[in-house]
A and B are shown apart, each in its own frame.
Chain A
Amino acid sequence: MTASSLPLTGLFRLGSRRARFLVERNIYVYRRTWIVLFSGFFEPLFYLGSIGFGLGALVGTVSGPGGQPISYQLFVAPALLASAAMNGAIAEGTFNFFFKLRYNKTFDAILSTPLSPGDVAVGELVWALIRGGIYAVAFIVVMAILGLVVSPWVILAVPAALLIGFAFGGVAMAATSFMRTWQDFDLIQLVILPLFLFSGTFYPLDAYPEALRVVVQLTPLYQGVDLLRSLVVGHLDGSLLVHVVYLAAMGVGGLLVVSRRLDKLLLK
């Protein structure tokens, strides 16, 4: 019997039905601070109004997926949805997760119950996805009201947004499990803003020189932006599968790392 046999005994299994109690806990917390939840929905809307409509009037049309010209609003809306899914998942997976892990000792208390570190990781991620899913549905409803729904495939934009949340949430939690102080979060900011601004979010990739274009195409947010934009305009091809696999692998990888790290951090 050694410490190394512990992960094999079920503690390491990736989550159980008990993970749902963590979601329930977060619902309790947000019942009081719903304004925070509520306000997260407005940020992409403000951007859509400002950049999409205000500035978009000066841009006119740009080339969308497959090269057909589309209105700038239609071009930028799915990208804002993808960015919102990323931002929401990262906010939960970094600041909130760090607070619960290091300060509130939420997880230490939880591990004295039948829940395991795997349950904690899954429960937290599921919560982040529920939050992201609510935003995604609301945003698509707003798009419909603004006349930005042009293809029935838009219905798949909701699961696609959840997939983006899963990918970034998993990686964010994994990264957070290695952080020691709040100052370390500057590094996360340093990654998010360039992703937000340069992943083909606000203008087509042909603005970049060839070499840079390839680099941008490899970034995770580009995968999400292109996936959502293609679904929103109804331009489906095999490359979307690549995006799906890329994002799913990110999420699963993140979850595996964070579960292992929680084992190490909490089960000393």
Chain B
Amino acid sequence: MPDLPPPPDAALIRARGLTKRFGSFTAVDAIDFDVAHGESFGFLGPNGAGKTSTMRMIGAVSPRSDGELSVLGLDPELAGPSIRARLGVAPQQDTLDTELTVRENLVIYGRYFGLSRAECGRRADALLEFAQLTERAGDPVEPLSGGMKRRLTIARALINEPDLLLLDEPTTGLDPQARHLLWDRLYRLKQRGVTLVLTTHYMDEAEQLCDRLVVMDKARIVAEGSPRELIERYSTREVAELRFPAGIQDSLDGQLDGLAERVELLPDRVLLYADDGEAAAVAVHQRGLRPETVLVRRSSLEDVFLRLTGRSLIE
């Protein structure tokens, strides 16, 4: 009974009032969300927002404290092993087996899912290719670079050809090159129809990878939608970032009023939210104010987050 697949258009994950408490601390506070089949879904939020706790509950390795949760149509508390058999999990910190080689990490992990040795070998070779690690197949794990370890972790999560891939902070700590390589690999998975659920505190990552996302802050969901929808709803088309000489910014009070839809004073810079950022910057000059630098850019999820919480994503 628990092994019946869900109907095609049903939500792969459905959470209602999902809550996780550790003692008196509430890590996840009654959140609701749905993830559809084939979708790429993100949890965006700063460290400590409750993203990882949510992921662990979805991954059927952390019992929920309250609320409802169904993953692949099953209850994680009743059908943990059956759910985990169809999940791929790449945790925040690499949990690669340092006592095994690169290839053995894939083969043995496949064995945990009950795959035959021959099948594990076949899939391991294909995944090494996918993760661009074929040359390192026989090497120990420890000397690999951070990016390689991350790719191996994700390759390992794919060994059971999961219906649902959970990625917790997939590119945190990687250099820009390694990130782009990883994004490329994840994009290919998405094209193949794998449902992705990921957490991130990088807005660019969320914009690149997520069809739809929820913004989390302090254990709660504060907004939900596609990256474009969120930007349209909570921000303007463009932002002008102004930096003033030391001391000047504090005396700006009120002088920028009316120049943009919204003005945000940050400790190191001033943000003017406007559909035409260039025009707003010109208007500043016309008032006789002389910023040291002016940068006009498109609005991003960072601006959405700032608007919703009054804080930056990365502090």
Could you list which residues of chain A lie within 8 angstroms of chain B, going by C-beta atoms?
Answer: 1-3, 5-6, 9-11, 18, 21, 24-25, 28-29, 104-106, 108-116, 266-268
Contact = CB atoms under 8 A, between A and B. Distances in A.
Given A267-B61, A268-B62, A29 B78 contact: no
B50 interface: no
Given A9-B78, A10-B81, A104-B97, A112 B62 contact: no
A9 B80 contact: yes
Contact of A111 (B61, B100, B113, B114): B61
A135 to B, nearest CB: 21
A46 to B, nearest CB: 27
Nearest to A11: B80
B25 interface: no
A120 to B, nearest CB: 10
Nearest to B88: A112
Contact of B87 (A2, A24, A112, A115): A112
A111 B60 CA distance: 9
A129 B266 CA distance: 63
Interface in B153-212: 156-157, 160
Contacts of A108: 91, 95
Contacts of A111: 61, 84
**Residue of B59, B63, B82, B104 most packed against chain A (CB within 10 A):** B63
B97 A112 contact: no
Nearest to A7: B63
A18 to B, nearest CB: 7
Interface in B43-85: 56, 59, 61-66, 77-78, 80-82, 84-85
Which interface residue of B82, B93, B96, B97 has the most chain A CB atoms within 10 A? B97
B99 interface: yes
Contact of A112 (B61, B64, B78, B111): B61
Nearest to B87: A112
A114 B84 contact: yes
A109 B114 contact: no
21 contacts: A1-B66, A1-B77, A5-B77, A6-B63, A9-B78, A10-B81, A11-B80, A21-B111, A25-B100, A29-B99, A104-B98, A105-B93, A106-B99, A109-B156, A112-B89, A114-B81, A114-B84, A114-B114, A115-B81, A267-B61, A267-B62
A110 B95 CA distance: 9
A268 B28 CA distance: 13
A9 B95 contact: no
Contacts of B62: 267-268
A18 B93 contact: no
Given A1-B64, A3-B63, A113 B80 contact: no
B108 A25 contact: yes
Given A3-B63, A9-B80, A29-B100, 4 more contacts: A9-B77, A11-B81, A104-B98, A266-B61
